[in-house]
């Protein structure tokens, strides 16, 4: 108990240890939060779901908070729906089974950039006669622009930017820019815009609902990628995946290494010899190439790669380090005492030799976590990331493949790299400090 | 360990016999060591071949590709279209068979693996399946040789700089440990947990994307300048970022390790003794601190030479550097087993050779070590 208290005091003496454990704690909390907030199935649906899960988001949108730091204010995204009332609309039944929908949405546009696109999604219910919709656009300077008149089917999508008729009517190639600017000067007008949707239905049971999706230039807390996916999801879910991979790999490989080294030294003879030979063969094998080969030829599942990583990391130089220390410990008096009272070999290995090594094991274990976390990211960057799971490495790879650095989508690459960097540094600092606490020989004066 | 002999007449005989004995001992040791290392290399290369073949999975890919290519070629040719259907089928079948025979796909996988192994061990690296060198050759040897200068240049500059600068800086830090610079290095050493390609991304972001002063990647401008001076200038410009990222990612840890190492040795009694004698600190460092640490420094240097050969796969990929590491990555993407196996063989041989030579070098620089003792 006093030893523990003593270690704690030493621990507090190292700022890097305190900082490192703080980072690790934060990461664990982030991981738990991510898993509670977005359950696994939901996360996979949002990551791999297809257009249906992402249609509300703009493409390549930076996070919304850059508006606080930038002098140009980028248009923010939103979406409103008549079904939940966020797009205020009223349906009034008319004569002879007809009905009229009047919905309007007014919003303040106070940005310096045009939005990427505006889209209306209609869903309607009818037997034979399709409902009819007309759209109007009210600008802050008092103009009313007729947008379109159309009959809408059961599922109908109207994209403002792709309507050729609208382009001809506005005499422009870019209807979105034209809708937000002064027709005389062509400059952007800030103020309150209003979208008017008037609809008519021709059957008693007929109904129509509209969803207005406004694709701005910025989105949410993390921004979006090339597939309109919200980056918040992989950023959040990357934490549990990275922690699981890093911790399991380092724990698995170092504990197994230690056990095998202990067994080898205790039983010596051919077992020891075999372990030594396997270690030498393993040193000849190119670690990364083999992992890349497994990824390309066999399976990209994170768990297969994890297994291969552990298997390849057992018989490394570390086994020789453990062996040399076990050889010393083997000659200690307490081992001899254990042998004298008749303890079995297995008992000595697991209850006498291995516990002795735990203080040496822990710093190495913590320090090797970043290597494994970055290994996962490295494989993902090479295009061998897990195809299902959202991870930090996958974001970097997507960003790299889409030329994020050339095209100026810096947020896309910075968010995952900063998180990875913090994770790596946190574990490394903690490991370094633990090393100096547990192995006082290395402690600097 | 060492045999102490008195300079008497009878000991002369024994001295001669010990010399003879030690020669024999060294010889016996060398042979057994060479044999075990050779077996290690064989096992390692065989495992690589087996993994690279993935139990015949790659063969299926190759067979499918041959079938597609041959069928397409015959169907699309005028002669093939004019042919009778049955004759054409037969022709396609024969062509596929001969093509498979050419690729060596007609023998069982175990035989093929053994054949690969025999070729590999004799450094007969064979022909690549899909990749070609820039001069159009399919010889694995030529493809690897063509990529070698790029890797040697990049890795050589960064690793040698890293090696010498960290030893020199570590020595000066160990001389006055505990001062500001020393503490800074200790504090910064965890930065080496981050791999080089990661720094690469940041450096590209800062110097290529934001400041636009250095190129994003590649080895020279395109088109390459014809004037040799401009060429080397452009090469230098492209070298800066990859070199910097390789150096940055191991710099502080490397200094820290050497410094700790020197500190442990400089607390030995004989160092205090030397200082007490009033030797100049340069002499103390050279003769009393560097000398006993020489075996470790040499080991590190030898391992460094090996890394020169293997290149840095991901850093080269991120910087589009046309070196061996990137060639390996491309080969894996194209299922080009001969290239994968070829680079493994060279790596394995080099490693085994280094391990073997190190035993002897140790005994040369450190009198406490005896070969085969």
Q: A158: part of which helix (H) or strand (E)?
A: strand A155-159
Per the CB < 8 Å rule, is B332 touching A285?
A: no
Whether the CB-CB separation of B154 and B246 falls below 8 Å is answered with yes
Name the 3-class secondary structure at A149: strand
CB A118 within 8 A of CB A214: yes
Cβ atoms A254, A361 nearer than 8 A: yes
**Cβ within 8 Å, pair A16-B190:** yes
Which residue has tokens 């379109």? Answer: A148
In chain A, whose CA is at the least distance from the CA of B332? A293
φ, ψ dihedrals at A361, nearest 5° = -75, -40
**Residue B276 reports pLDDT greater than 70:** yes
* pLDDT at site B54: 67
Where do the domains of chain B lie, and which CATH numbers do they carry? Answer: 25-121 (no CATH), 146-365 (1.10.3720)
Does A289 contact B47 at a Cβ distance shorter than 8 Å? Answer: no
Segments in chain A below pLDDT 70: 1-4, 440-445
The mean-pLDDT minimum among A375-379, B84-88, B175-179, B307-311 falls in B307-311
pLDDT for the residue A326: 86
Cα separation, A420 vs A175, in Å, equals 41
The answer to whether A369 and A427 have CB atoms below 8 angstroms apart is: yes
- The CA distance from A200 to the nearest CA of chain B, in Å, is 53
**pLDDT of res. B223:** 80
User: What are phi and psi for residue A80, nearest 5 degrees?
Assistant: -130, 160
Exposure b/e, A172-193, CB count within 10 A at least 16 = b: beebbbbbbbeeeeeeebeeeb
Weakest-pLDDT range from A230-234, B55-59, B233-237: B55-59
Which three-class secondary structure state does DSSP give residue A394? helix
Q: Are B159 and B297 in contact (CB under 8 A)?
A: no
Q: What is the pLDDT of residue B14?
A: 55
Per-residue pLDDT, B369: 65
CB-based contact (8 Å) between B216 and chain A? yes
Q: Which residue of B has its CA nearest to A401?
A: B318
Q: Pick from A284, A290, A441: which is nearest to B40 by CB?
A: A284
**Whether A277 and B177 lie within 8 Å, measured CB to CB:** no
The C-alpha atoms of residue B349 and residue B353 are separated, in whole angstroms, by 6
Distance separating alpha carbons of residues A312 and A234, to the nearest angstrom: 28
Query: Is A286–B347 a contact, with Cβ atoms under 8 angstroms apart?
Result: yes
**pLDDT value of residue A1:** 57
Nearest-CA residue of chain B relative to A15? B187
If pLDDT is split at 50, 70 and 90, which confidence band does B324 have?
confident
Instruction: Look at B58 and A414 and tell me if their CB atoms are within 8 Å.
Output: no
pLDDT digits (tens, 9 = 90+) for B260-274: 888 888 878 888 888
The confidence score (pLDDT) of residue A252 equals 93
Q: Judge: A424–B194 Cβ closer than 8 Å, yes or no.
A: yes
Provide the pLDDT confidence category of residue B370 given band limits of 50, 70 and 90. Answer: low
Using H for helix, E for strand and C for coil, what is the string for chain B?
Answer: CCCCCCCCHHHHHHHHHHHHHHHHHHHHHHHHHHHHHHHHHHHHHHHHHHHHHHHHHHHHHHHHHHHHHHHHHHHHCHHHHHCCHHHHHHHHHHHHHHHHHHHCCCCCHHHHHHHHHHHHHCCCCCECCCCCCCCCCCEHHHHHHHHHHHHHHHHHHHHHHHHHHHHHHHHHHHHCCCCHHHHHHHHHHHHHHCCHHHHHHHHHHHHHHHCCCCCCCCCCCCCCCCCHHHHHHHHHHHHHHHHHHHHHHHHHHHHHHHHHHHHHHHCCHHHHHHHHCCCCHHHHHHHHHHHHHHHHHHHHHHHHHHHHHHCCHHHHHHCCCCCHHHHHHHHHHCCCHHHHHHHHHHHHHHHHHHHHHHHHHHHHHCCCCCCCC
* Nearest residue of B to residue A282, measured between CA atoms: B44
Q: Which of A284, A396, A408 sits opposite B44 (nearest CB)?
A: A284
Report the pLDDT value the prediction gives residue B5, as an integer from 0 to 100.
Answer: 41
Buried b (16+ CB within 10 A) or exposed e, B322-345: bbbbbbbbbbbeebbbbbbbbbbb
ipTM for the assembly: 0.77
Contact predicate B353/B132, CB 8 Å: no
Closest CA to A198 of A119, A97, A79, A89: A89
Q: Which long-range contacts (CB under 8 A, 24 or more apart) does B107-110 make?
A: B109/B53, B109/B55, B109/B56, B109/B59
Cβ separation A284–B41 shorter than 8 A = yes
Q: Is B348 part of the contact surface with chain A (CB cutoff 8 Å)?
A: yes
pLDDT exceeds 70 at position B122: yes
pLDDT at A26: 93
pTM attached to this predicted model: 0.82
Touching A: B residues 49-68, CB under 8 Å? 51-52, 54, 57-58
Look at B54 and A298 and tell me if their CB atoms are within 8 Å: yes
Mean pLDDT of chain B: 81
A150, A158, A154: which is closest to A134 by C-alpha? A150
Task: Please tell me which residue of chain A has the smallest CA distance to B43.
Answer: A281
Kindly report the nearest CA distance between residue B355 and chain A, in angstroms: 10
Whether A292 sits inside 8 A of B313 (CB atoms) is yes
Report d(CA A200, CA A132) in Å as an integer: 5
| B102-114 pLDDT per residue, tens | 777 777 777 877 8
| Chain B residues lying within 8 Å of A378, measured CB to CB | 195, 197, 314
**Chain B contact set for A374 (CB, 8 A):** 193-195, 198
Answer whether B205 touches A (CB < 8 Å).
Answer: yes
Asked whether the beta carbons of residue B186 and residue A444 sit closer than 8 angstroms, the reply is: yes
Question: Could you give the CA distance from residue B166 to residue B247 in angstroms, rounded to a whole number?
Answer: 10
Residue-level pLDDT at A247: 93
β-strand pairing of A191-201 with A78-81 = unpaired
What's the whole-number mean pLDDT along residues B282-287?
A: 83
Please name the member of A297, A424, A431 whose beta carbon is closest to the beta carbon of B58: A297
Measured between beta carbons, the chain B residues lying within 8 angstroms of A383 are 333
Rounded mean pLDDT, B28-40 = 84
Interface test with B, best of A250, A275, A282, A286 (most B CBs within 10 A): A286
Q: In what order do the strands lie in the sheet with A155-159?
A: A78-81, A207-215, A117-125, A155-159
A396–B347 C-beta distance less than 8 A = no
* B186/A374 touch (CB, cutoff 8 Å), yes or no: no
Rounded Cα distance between A388 and A237, Å, is: 12
State whether residue B201 sits within 8 Å of chain A by CB: yes
């Amino acid at each position: 108990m006093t030893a523990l208290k003593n270690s704690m005091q030493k621990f507090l003496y190292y700022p890097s240890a305190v900082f490192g454990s703080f980072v690790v704690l934060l990461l664990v909390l982030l991981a738990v939060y991510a898993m509670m907030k977005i359950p696994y199935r939901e996360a996979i649906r949002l990551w791999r779901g297809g257009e249906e899960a992402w249609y509300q988001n703009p493409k390549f949108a930076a996070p919304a908070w850059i508006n606080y730091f930038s002098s140009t204010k980028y248009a923010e995204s939103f979406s409103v729906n008549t079904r939940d009332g966020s797009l205020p609309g009223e349906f009034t039944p008319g004569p002879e089974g007809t009905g009229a929908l009047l919905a309007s949405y007014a919003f303040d546009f106070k940005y310096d950039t045009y939005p990427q696109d505006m889209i209306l999604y209609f869903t309607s219910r009818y037997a034979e006669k399709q409902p009819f919709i007309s759209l109007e656009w009210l600008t802050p300077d008092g103009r009313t622009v007729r947008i379109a008149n159309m009959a809408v089917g059961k599922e109908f999508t109207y994209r403002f930017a792709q309507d050729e008729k609208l382009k001809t009517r506005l005499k422009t190639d870019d209807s979105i820019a034209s809708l937000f600017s002064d027709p005389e000067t062509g400059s952007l007008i800030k103020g309150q815009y209003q979208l008017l949707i008037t609809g008519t239905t021709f059957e008693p049971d007929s109904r129509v609902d509209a969803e207005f999706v406004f694709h701005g230039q910025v989105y949410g807390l993390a921004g979006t990628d090339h597939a309109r996916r919200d980056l918040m999801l992989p950023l959040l879910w990357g934490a549990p995946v990275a922690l699981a991979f890093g911790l399991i790999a380092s724990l698995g490989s170092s504990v197994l290494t230690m056990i095998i080294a202990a067994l080898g030294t205790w039983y010596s003879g051919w077992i020891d010899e075999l372990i030594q030979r396997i270690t030498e063969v393993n040193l000849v094998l190119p670690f990364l190439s083999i992992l890349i080969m497994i990824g390309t030829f066999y399976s990209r599942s994170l768990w297969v790669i994890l297994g291969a990583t552990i298997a390849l990391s057992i018989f490394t130089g570390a086994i020789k380090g453990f062996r040399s220390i076990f050889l010393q410990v083997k000659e200690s008096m307490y081992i001899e005492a254990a042998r004298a009272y008749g303890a079995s070999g297995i008992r000595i290995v697991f209850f006498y030799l291995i516990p002795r090594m735990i203080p040496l094991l822990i710093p190495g274990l913590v320090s090797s976590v970043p290597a494994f976390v970055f290994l996962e990211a490295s494989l993902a960057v090479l295009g061998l990331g897990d195809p299902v799971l959202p991870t930090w490495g996958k974001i970097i790879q997507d960003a790299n493949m889409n030329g994020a650095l050339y095209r100026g989508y810096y947020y896309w690459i910075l968010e995952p790299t900063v998180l990875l960097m913090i994770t790596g540094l946190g574990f490394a600092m903690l490991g370094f400090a633990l090393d100096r606490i547990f192995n006082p020989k290395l402690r600097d004066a | 360990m060492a045999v102490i002999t008195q300079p008497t007449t009878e000991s002369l005989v024994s001295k001669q016999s010990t010399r003879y004995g030690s020669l024999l001992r060294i010889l016996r040791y060398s042979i057994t060591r060479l044999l075990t290392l050779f077996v290690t290399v064989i096992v390692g290369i065989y495992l690589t071949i087996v993994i690279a073949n993935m139990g015949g999975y790659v063969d299926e890919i190759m067979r499918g590709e041959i079938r597609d290519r041959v069928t397409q070629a015959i169907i699309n040719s005028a002669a093939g279209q004019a042919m009778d259907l049955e004759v054409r089928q037969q022709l396609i079948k024969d062509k596929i068979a001969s093509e498979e025979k050419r690729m060596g796909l007609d023998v069982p996988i175990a035989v093929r693996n053994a054949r690969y192994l025999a070729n590999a061990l004799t450094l007969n690296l064979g022909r690549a399946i899909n990749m070609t060198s820039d001069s159009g050759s399919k010889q694995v040897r030529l493809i690897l040789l063509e990529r070698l200068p790029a890797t040697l240049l990049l890795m050589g500059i960064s690793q040698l700089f890293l090696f010498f600068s960290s030893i020199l800086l570590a020595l000066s830090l160990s001389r006055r440990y505990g001062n500001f610079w020393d503490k800074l290095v200790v504090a910064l050493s965890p930065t080496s947990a981050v791999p080089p390609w990661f720094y690469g991304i940041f450096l590209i972001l800062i110097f290529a994307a934001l400041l636009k002063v250095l190129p994003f990647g590649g080895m020279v401008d395109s088109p390459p300048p014809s004037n040799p001076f401009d060429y080397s200038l452009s090469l230098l410009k492209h070298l800066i970022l990859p070199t910097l990222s390789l150096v940055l990612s191991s710099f502080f840890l490397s200094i820290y390790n050497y410094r700790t190492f020197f500190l442990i040795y400089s607390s030995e009694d004989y160092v205090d003794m030397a200082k007490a004698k009033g030797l100049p600190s340069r002499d103390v460092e050279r003769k009393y601190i560097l000398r006993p640490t020489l075996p470790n420094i040499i080991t590190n240097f030898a391992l460094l030479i090996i890394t020169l050969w293997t290149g840095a796969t991901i850093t080269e990929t991120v910087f589009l550097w046309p070196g061996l590491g990137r060639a390996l990555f491309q080969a894996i993407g194209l299922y080009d087993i001969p290239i994968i196996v070829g680079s493994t063989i060279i790596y394995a041989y080099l490693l085994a050779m280094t391990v073997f030579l190190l035993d002897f070098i140790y005994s040369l620089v450190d009198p406490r070590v005896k070969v085969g003792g």
